[in-house]
Every structure is written in structure tokens, then in C-alpha cells.
Structure 1
Amino acid sequence: MIVIVGCNKGGAGKTTTAVNLAVALALRGSDVCLVDADPQRSATRWYAEREAAELKPTITLVEKRDNITQTLKTLGEKFDHVIVDVAGRNSRELITGAVIADVIIAPHQCSQLDLDTLGELQEQVTRIRDLNPELKVLAYHSMASTNPSVRETERREFLAFLDEFPEIQPLISIGFYRKAYKDSIPCGKSVIEGDNAQASSEIQTLMKEVFGA
């Protein structure tokens, strides 16, 4: 399966989601390739730390920019899963990757600036489905508040906003704003390999919802 983690807004947790999914899939025995298609190279730096620490399981990293269609097609034939981290904007990598992808996971915070970009994403998806009609687009509520007094209201607002965009399906899974996610990145780890059970459960739940049991 080829999965692009991308949207048109920076700072929504795309790289964090991509690397955590890659490790989660590898831990269950899948052969995983992580594609860094973001010029900021955040996934590549994370991977370098993982290699230096000699952490297991290992995953494969490929860097690719511009038109990534053929690269993803080739990798999709070789690996069980290809996870693609793209820039937080309307990038050539997002568009050319979506032509061949099975799924786009689009992380968004429940903020007006994040959610305002969903209209642009829906327009992109409508055009891309002329070439890739089976493409699924899943909105992932990321960096959600852990405050019990606001989390339910925030979730309702997130889902209500998504009702306006029928081409984009909301995921049941939610990623909450936890320090564990930030702490794991400089170590080349996934939160699954850490000691925060809540963050680990969030990634496991996301993986099962997108990839199945």
C-alpha cells in the first residue's frame, strides 16, 4: 500500500505521523519504505538518528523530490508499505504522489488556519481522481487537546467542518498533543518504542484503522 501523509498546511504533524506509522508497520513484520519528499528533510534527519542508534526494526528510507509518480510505483512493487512524507503545502510531490497512491492521510489541527486549507485539498482530490479514481483521502485530527473540558467540543467542531467536504473522510483515530511525540523524534524513535502508553495506543489505533488488523 502507498500512503501519502500530506496536506496544504505546515505544522500539522505530518512527519511525526509518517515516521510513527512506518515503525508501527515494521514492528508487525511488514517491509516498509519511508519516502522523504519534503525539502525540509525532517524524516531524513529522524532516520539518521535511528540508524546511528542501531534501532530495530529497520526500515528503508528513500529521498525523492519533484515528480515522484514513477518512484512510488517502483517502490510499491517492492515493499509491503510505502509511507510518503510531503511538504505542508500544495506541492508537486503531493500531486504526483497522489496519482499513484492508495491513500492520503491529511493531518489537521482543529484550528481555522488548518481547516481553511481543506477546500483546496478537496479541489485537488477531485482533479486527481480523474486519474486515480480509487484514491482515499482521510482527515486525521492531529495535535488535539488533552484538556477534558474542551476535547469533546473541539472534536465536534472538527467533524462539523469536515461535513462541508464530502471528498475527505474523517478518521475515527485522533492524535493528541503530547510531549512524547516531540521527544521521540530527535532519538529516531516511534512513540510505540517509548513509555507513553497513551501516545503508543493512538498510533496503534491509527495503524489498525488505515491498514487493518
Structure 2
Amino acid sequence: MIVIIGSNKGGAGKTTTATNIAVALAKRGYDVCLVDADPQRSACRWHAEREAAGLEPSITLIEKRDNIASALKTLGEKFDHVIVDVAGRNSRELITGATAADLIIAPHQCSQLDLDTLAELQDQLVRVRDLNPDLKAAAYHTMASTNPAVRETERQEFLTFISDFQEVSVIEAVGFYRKAYRDVMATGHSVMESDNLQASAEIEALCNEVFGDGR
């Protein structure tokens, strides 16, 4: 399965989502390739830390830029899952990658600036589906508030906004704003390898929903 983690807004946790999904799938025994298609190279730096620490399971990382469609198709034949981290903008990597992908997971915070970019994503989906009619896209609510006083209201606002975009479904799993996600990135870990059970459960729920619950 080829999955692009991408949207048209930066700072929504795309690399965090990509690296944690990659580790979660590898821990399930899948052969996973993480593709860093973002010029900022955050996934590459994370992977370098992981390799230097000798962490298992190991993740294959490949850097690709510009037109990545052909590379993704080739990787999709070699690996169980290919997870692609693209830049937080309307990039060539996002568009070309989408022509070869099975799914786009679009991380978004519940903010007007983030959610306004869904109109652009929907337009992109309509065009790309002329070449890849089976492409699916789903919005993933990230950096959600853990405050019980606003948590439910924020989620409802997110769902209400997404409902206006018929080309984009909604992932039920939610990623909350937790320091654990930032802490593990610096050491090449995933929250699945941390002692933060809440963050670990969030990634597990995301993977169960998207990929199924195990082999």
C-alpha cells in the first residue's frame, strides 16, 4: 500500500505522523519503506538518529524529489507499505505521488488556516483522479486539544468543516497535542517505543483504522 502523508499546510504534523506510522507497521512485521520527499529532510534526520542508535525494527528510508510517481510504483512492488512524507504545500511531490498512491492521509489541525486548504486539496484530488481513479483521501485531525473543556467542541468543529468536502473522508482516530511526539523525533524513536501509553494508543488506533489490526 502506498500512502502519502500530505496536505497544503505546514506545521500539521506530517513527518510526525509518517514516522510513527512507519514504526507501527514495522513492529507488526511488515516490510516498510519511508520516502522523504520533503526538502526540509526531517524524516531523513529522524532516520539517521534511529540508525545511529541501532533501533529495531529497522525502517528503509529513501529520498526522492520532483516527479516521484515512477519511484513509488517501483517501491510499491518491493515493500508491503510505502509511507511518503511530502512538504506542507502544493508541491510537485504531492501531485505526482498522488498519481501512484492508494491513499492520501491529510493531517490538519482544527484551525481556520489549516482547514481552508482543504478546498485546494479537493480540487487536486478531482484532477489527479483522472489519472488515478482509485485514489482515496482522508483528513486526520492532529494536534487536538487534550483539554476536556474544549475537546469535544473542537472535534465537532473539525467534523463539521470536513463535511463540506465530499472528496475527502474523515479518519476517526485523533492525534492529540502531546510533548511525547516531539521528544521521540529527536532520538529516532516512535511514540510506540515510548512510555506514553496515550500517544501510543493514538497511533495504534490510526493504523488499525487505515491498515487493519495486524496481519
TM-score of the pair, normalised by structure 1: 1.00
Extract unaligned runs of 5+ from structure 1. none
Equivalent in the alignment of 2:75: 75
Equivalent in the alignment of 1:32: 32
Q: Which amino acid aligns with 1:210?
A: V
Q: Which amino acid aligns with 1:136?
A: K
C-alpha separation in 1, matches of 2:119 and 2:49: 36
C-alpha separation in 2, matches of 1:170 and 1:158: 9
C-alpha separation in 2, matches of 1:82 and 1:197: 26
SS in 2 for 1:201: helix
Equivalent in the alignment of 1:102: 102
Equivalent in the alignment of 1:207: 207
Distance apart, 1:10 and its partner CA: 0.2
Q: Which amino acid aligns with 2:164?
A: E
SS in 2 for 1:65: coil
Aligned residues: 213
2:10 counterpart of 1:10: yes
SS in 2 for 1:89: coil
- Once superposed, which parts of structure 1, at least 4 consecutive aligned residues long, lie more than 4 Å away? none
SS in 2 for 1:107: strand
C-alpha separation in 2, matches of 1:204 and 1:190: 11
2:123 counterpart of 1:152: no
C-alpha separation in 2, matches of 1:46 and 1:122: 30
Distance apart, 1:88 and its partner CA: 0.1
Equivalent in the alignment of 2:124: 124
C-alpha separation in 1, matches of 2:211 and 2:69: 22
Distance apart, 1:30 and its partner CA: 0.1
Equivalent in the alignment of 2:54: 54
Extract unaligned runs of 5+ from structure 2. none
Equivalent in the alignment of 1:136: 136
Distance apart, 1:141 and its partner CA: 0.2
Distance apart, 1:169 and its partner CA: 0.3
Q: Which amino acid aligns with 2:210?
A: V
Distance apart, 1:182 and its partner CA: 0.3
Distance apart, 1:166 and its partner CA: 0.5
SS in 1 for 2:55: coil
Distance apart, 1:209 and its partner CA: 0.4
Instruction: Please report the RMSD computed on the Cα atoms of aligned residues, expressed in angstroms.
Output: 0.3
Equivalent in the alignment of 1:187: 187
Equivalent in the alignment of 1:89: 89
Equivalent in the alignment of 1:23: 23
Equivalent in the alignment of 1:168: 168
C-alpha separation in 1, matches of 2:173 and 2:130: 28
C-alpha separation in 1, matches of 2:21 and 2:178: 16
C-alpha separation in 2, matches of 1:94 and 1:181: 24
C-alpha separation in 1, matches of 2:67 and 2:136: 20
TM-score of the pair, normalised by structure 2: 0.99
C-alpha separation in 1, matches of 2:174 and 2:130: 30
